[in-house]
Amino acid sequence: MSGWQRQRVILSLHRLILLGGVYAPIVPYKDSSKFSLGSIMEAALPAIHPIVAAGSNRCEAFKSFFGLTYEQMQEKNFTSFRDSLNIDHITKNGNIKYNITAHKRLERFVGTSRDIVVLVHGFLESSDGVMVNGLAPALLKQPGLVVLALDGRKLINLEYFRSSTYARFMGENLGTFLSELIKDGHNPSKITLIGHSLGAHIAGIAGKRVHEVTGKLLSRIAGLDPAGPCFSNVSLAGRLDPGDAEYVDVIHTNGGMLGLLEPVGQKDFYPAGGMTQPGCFLSTCDHSRAWQLFAESITTPKHFPARKCGNWTMFKSGLCSKNEVAFMGFSSKEGPPGTYYLNTGSSLPYGLGPAGSG
């Protein structure tokens, strides 16, 4: 691939990041056996991925030049940061918003014995955006579950490079908030974080902060297509990793482009191979499919069995058909770590049940 072609690929990725956000409408294929843009992208992504990764690895140099690295921002007066970060208590009657420092006020409604799920949105999103609204209604139907959502709309917006650094500060602040709940008596084994894109890394950093402050681990972090650009080959302090909670599971749907391709959890699930998704023409659609699959799994937990396998080619060839099965999504549990693959549909319902596990 020539130099100008590489520049076009990286420029296209940058435009997708800045303009596409984390959601795009799903356009179903009319006939998957015929010519499609998705099939071309699936074939091309293995070649494109090293170029995208190289561009991602240059993020720190770019951010350093403009004073946007984590270390440079630490030196600045960041007193207003917490003022811009909120926690929403999501109820059937709407969201109740609290500042990130108001753990005492929120605790009166949450108590210390109930299970908590914290939803963490991605770039250009919010606590009342499509990802949170896609997951919250089904979660609210779970008995006794408290649903919270981090709201960083004032921080991770418009400019991705700055937002990718802000994500670390947001994670630290969320972790401090959760640590205060734990110090006041809440059991960390009853706290789960679910993060999409940048939100997956925010969740991971929050888990690190909780362990640093309390010496305890959160119950679970579910990473939904963790953001790829600016997060390849960075230190574990700045991204999601398997040690951030008792159980860390990850769903990859746009690996090598808007999401990370490499495993970063204890169990990493790769629906449809994890790079492109059936029924999607744009990377933003592939990227959003992770939370859409998770949302469906809340109400149909047995529809996403996945087979442990070394790679997508082996899975498609039937070489892993006798390997162990693990369920992807809301009902995912601790078990043998590794990479898991499954087939999914191009439109709702995405889950194929046992037929999807090969």
CA distances from 205 to 6, 13, 28, 170, 263 (A): 32, 25, 36, 8, 17
Q: How many domains does the chain have?
A: 1
DSSP assignment letter at 318: T
**Residue 198 and residue 188: Cα distance in Å, rounded?**
23
- Is the residue at 25 inside a domain? no
Q: What is the pLDDT of residue 158?
A: 81
**Residue 17 and residue 232: Cα distance in Å, rounded?**
15
Question: What are 90's strand-pairing partners?
Answer: 95, 147
Choice among 197, 219, 297, 357 that is catalytic: 197
Regions of the chain short of the pLDDT cut 70 = 1-57, 77-80, 112
- Is the residue at 17 inside a domain? no
Q: Which amino acid is at 107?
A: E
Cβ of 309: how many Cβ atoms within 10 Å?
A: 23
Q: Which amino acid is at 170?
A: M
CA distances from 348 to 26, 195, 219, 285, 292 (A): 10, 22, 30, 14, 9
CATH number of the domain encompassing residue 109: 3.40.50.1820
- Is the residue at 11 inside a domain? no
Q: What is the pLDDT of residue 13?
A: 42
Residue 268 catalytic?
no
**Residue 199 and residue 235: Cα distance in Å, rounded?**
17
The residues, any chain, with a CB within 8 Å of residue 336's CB and separated by 6 or more, are: 308, 324, 326
Q: Which domain holds residue 330?
A: 70-357
Q: Does residue 47 contact residue 112 with C-beta atoms inside 8 Å? A: no
pLDDT digits (tens, 9 = 90+) for 251-275: 999 999 999 999 999 999 999 999 9
Q: What is the pLDDT of residue 105?
A: 82
Residue 197 catalytic?
yes
**Residue 12 and residue 331: Cα distance in Å, rounded?**
36
Residue 196 catalytic?
no
CA distances from 329 to 195, 281, 305, 306, 326 (A): 12, 23, 9, 10, 10
Q: What is the pLDDT of residue 103?
A: 81
Choice among 121, 196, 287, 303 that is catalytic: 287
- Is the residue at 14 inside a domain? no
- Token duo for residue 304: 């996403």
Q: Does residue 163 contact residue 192 with C-beta atoms inside 8 Å? A: no
Choice among 225, 241, 244, 249 that is catalytic: 225
